[in-house]
Amino acid sequence: MELSLAHIRNILTRTSGFLQTVTSHSLQPYRGCTFGNALCGVGCYVQHNGHITQGRPWGGFLEVRQNAAESYRQHADKERRWARAARGRFSIFLSSSTDPFLPQESRYGVTRSLLEAMLDMPPDGLIVQTHTHRMEEYLPLLERLAGQTDLRLHLSIETDQEQVEGLPPHASPVERRFAAAAAAKSRGIRTIVTVAPLLPIADPERFFARIAKVADAVVLDHFIGGDGTVDGRRTRSTPLPAAIARIDPAALELDYRDRMALVAKRHLPGSVGIHIEGFAGRFAAGPG
């Protein structure tokens, strides 16, 4: 893996496109993602962003933004003023193009330093999005931060299956992620399970019943639309659709998401979000 150390001018990026109705800013403590060779990396839409990859294989590089916390402290007030005027509030998505809790975080501590900076200069809202149980060691810090900002912890659990034939292992075991979600919720941290991208679920009733015990809400997103294209053509160029088809061809269609949502609503009435509405914290009003 190609690893580099870097300094960034402004760690806060004003959102556009998919995230514009979710938060005012996104924040990437790293460029690249070492989970790129895990299951979640197979269909990851970021691999199609040439500005980020610069021709390098997804999962094969990582840029450590050493001055991320310093940059946040330098720019937060200015970006807060802009966000409140232009978007209504200063809110951050951490992160949309990497994972805040990569294995390398234990060495470099970029995410930790950013969260500590936010304790001193809290945004109005913060969404922490991760694919790994590794966030569990940060729960005391997230609990403190939740007392100062509108914080939601989004933890991806794409399926109930620990192994998906034809795909690499998960970056984080499904069971470990369920346990981490439960630990977060027990601390009073608003915890959202994101089933994104939705993979075939062997036992939907049991899966969503388990989610209801460990999370406050659930978000479902299919690769159709979810990868930034109307027809999912980015994802169709990856091995993910073939692996899905071997398990359940019906899961390739968008209505699979809607059928799973009906099951989810029985277990989490009023707390099921679909696609961008869910990531923005806007959930279906009823069980229907």
Burial grade of 267 (CB within 10 A; 0-12, 13-18, 19 or more): buried
Q: Is 266 a member of any domain?
A: yes
CATH code of the domain containing 94? 3.80.30.30
Q: Quick one: pLDDT at residue 287?
A: 47
What pLDDT, in 10s, does the model give residues 212-247? 999 999 999 999 999 989 999 999 999 999 999 999
β-partners of residue 63 are 4, 31
Q: Give the residue, 177 or 228, on which the prediction is more confident.
A: 177
**In Å, how far are 123, 148, 214 from 84, measured between CA atoms?**
11, 17, 33
Q: Is 118 a member of any domain?
A: yes
Tell me the CA end-to-end span of the chain in Å, nearest whole number: 47
Q: Is 285 a member of any domain?
A: no
Q: Is 228 a member of any domain?
A: yes
What pLDDT, in 10s, does the model give residues 139-175? 999 999 999 999 999 999 999 999 999 999 999 999 9
Question: How far, in Å, CA of 49 to CA of 266, rounded?
Answer: 37
Phi, psi of 162 (to 5 degrees): -70, -30
pLDDT of residue 249 exceeding 60, the answer is: yes
Q: Is 241 a member of any domain?
A: yes
**In Å, how far are 158, 159, 178 from 164, measured between CA atoms?**
11, 9, 18
pLDDT of residue 28 exceeding 60, the answer is: yes
- β-pairing, 25-27 vs 91-94, is parallel
Question: How far, in Å, CA of 228 to CA of 219, rounded?
Answer: 17
Q: Is 79 a member of any domain?
A: yes
pTM score: 0.96
pLDDT band at 288 (very low <50, low <70, confident <90, very high): very low
DSSP assigned state of 251:
G
Q: Quick one: pLDDT at residue 17?
A: 87
pLDDT of residue 286 exceeding 90, the answer is: no
Q: Is 284 a member of any domain?
A: no
Q: Is 273 a member of any domain?
A: yes
The token pair that represents 253 in the structure block: 């269609």
The radius of gyration computed from the CA coordinates of the chain, to the nearest angstrom, equals: 18
Query: Which residue range is the domain that position 25 belongs to?
Result: 2-279
Average pLDDT, the chain: 96
CB 212 within 8 A of CB 192: no
How many structural domains comprise the chain? 1
